[in-house]
Amino acid sequence: MAGWKSVQDRVELRNGCGIPCVGFGTWKMPQGTAGAEALHQALADGYRHIDTAAAYGNEETVGEAVAASGIPREELFVTTKVWNTERGYDATLRAFDESCRRLGMDYVDLYLVHWPAAQGPEGQWQRTNAETWRALEALYAQGRARAIGVSNFKPRHLEPLMAGADVPPMVNQIEMHPGCNQEATREFCRERGIVVEAWSPLGQGRVLADATLAEVAARYGCTPAQLCLRWCLQRGAIPLPKSLDAGRISENARIFWFDVSDEDLLLIDGLDPLGQSGLDPDTVDF
Ligand code: A2P
């Protein structure tokens, strides 16, 4: 990932679609003015990749901000996700239509299964994921989702899904930040050509006071947040930082003037568990 110059530089997915290398996360971003202002700031700072979800309750605000920006739709990369209560073939197709209606868009760039259905008997959740996936494959075939993928899938969830898939997932969006390095899942995805995205790349702000990160960041003259985002990128993942603060939104886009050395990447890889959300895809059942 070295050599990149801006959040607009793209990573190629297995189907040739380009995905901007840093996205603007919108979990907990409110609908209405505060959310719209954050999105306007992000677009003004050059972000072209916006990550939302039906469950975030802010797709309308995302759609309105995109429309108001005047930026050509094809320059933007918009992701949304099907929520847990909408799994299965028919329900997922309906959920997708609803998301598009709220976004005011006739296609999305990336549609993700938000969480694996990992509770209950193996056969049952595997069937549920397979049915949901079949709907995503249909949307992909129709061109309504330019790329498809999953979120919060561990290798044990991905394996059965991929075994029955006609179109393998192109992306897996997982919690990843210093203190939660996700090496096993990243390696599994790398070997199979699945691009990893990092949600909560700043550990929801909880890792930023860590003494090691502060010391390393001081050596580069960057902030701990910029160091976290750079570490994600150099570990091959697309970070999706979120902020409602204009200064921090800009700060999180300015991460292309330094390279973290291999030695410091390893130091960060080895940080003790830190700042985790505590959401385990095997047990999460909202
Ligand atoms: P705020 O909206 O006040 O900026 P994550 O993306 O890992 O979930 O982290 C999001 C949290 O981190 C939010 O609480 C956000 O608060 C905070 N945050 C985002 N960017 C920065 C930054 N550059 N420095 C410090 N805190 C940040």
Instruction: Find the 86 Cα to ligand 1 centroid distance in Å.
Output: 30
Instruction: Find the 206 Cα to ligand 1 centroid distance in Å.
Output: 9
Look at residue 3 in the predicted model and tell me its pLDDT: 76
Residue 243 alpha carbon, nearest atom of ligand 1 = 2
Q: Please work out whether the CB of residue 207 comes within 6 Å of at least one atom of ligand 1.
A: no
- 34 C-beta neighbours (distance < 10 Å), count: 12
Which residues have a catalytic role annotated?
Answer: 56
Q: Please work out whether the CB of residue 241 comes within 6 Å of at least one atom of ligand 1.
A: yes
Look at residue 122 in the predicted model and tell me its pLDDT: 83
Q: Please work out whether the CB of residue 84 comes within 6 Å of at least one atom of ligand 1.
A: no
Residue 38 alpha carbon, nearest atom of ligand 1 = 2
Q: Please work out whether the CB of residue 203 comes within 6 Å of at least one atom of ligand 1.
A: yes
Look at residue 4 in the predicted model and tell me its pLDDT: 86
Q: Please work out whether the CB of residue 269 comes within 6 Å of at least one atom of ligand 1.
A: no
pLDDT per residue as tens, the chain (286 positions) = 557 899 999 999 999 999 999 999 999 999 999 999 999 999 999 999 999 999 999 999 999 999 999 999 999 999 999 999 999 999 999 999 999 999 999 999 999 999 999 988 888 999 999 999 999 999 999 999 999 999 999 999 999 999 999 999 999 999 999 999 999 999 999 999 999 999 999 999 999 999 999 999 999 999 999 999 999 999 999 999 999 999 999 999 999 999 999 999 999 999 999 999 999 998 887 6
| Ligand 1 binding pocket mutation candidate from 207, 242, 251, 274 (most atoms within 8 A of CB) | 242
Residue nearest to atom 12 of ligand 1 (CA): 205
Q: What is the SS3 string spanning the chain? A: CCCCCCCCCEEECCCCCEEECCCEECCCCCCCHHHHHHHHHHHHCCCCEEECCHHHCCHHHHHHHHHHHCCCHHHCEEEEEECHHHCCHHHHHHHHHHHHHHHCCCCECEEEECCCCCCCCHHHHHHHHHHHHHHHHHHHHCCCECCEEEECCCHHHHHHHHHCCCCCCCEEEEECECCECCHHHHHHHHHCCCEEEEECCCHHHCCCCCHHHHHHHHHHCCCHHHHHHHHHHHCCEEEECCCCCHHHHHHHHCCCCCCCCHHHHHHHHCCCCCCCCCCCCCCCCC
Instruction: Find the 203 Cα to ligand 1 centroid distance in Å.
Output: 9
Q: Please work out whether the CB of residue 116 comes within 6 Å of at least one atom of ligand 1.
A: no
Residue 252 alpha carbon, nearest atom of ligand 1 = 23
Q: Please work out whether the CB of residue 179 comes within 6 Å of at least one atom of ligand 1.
A: no
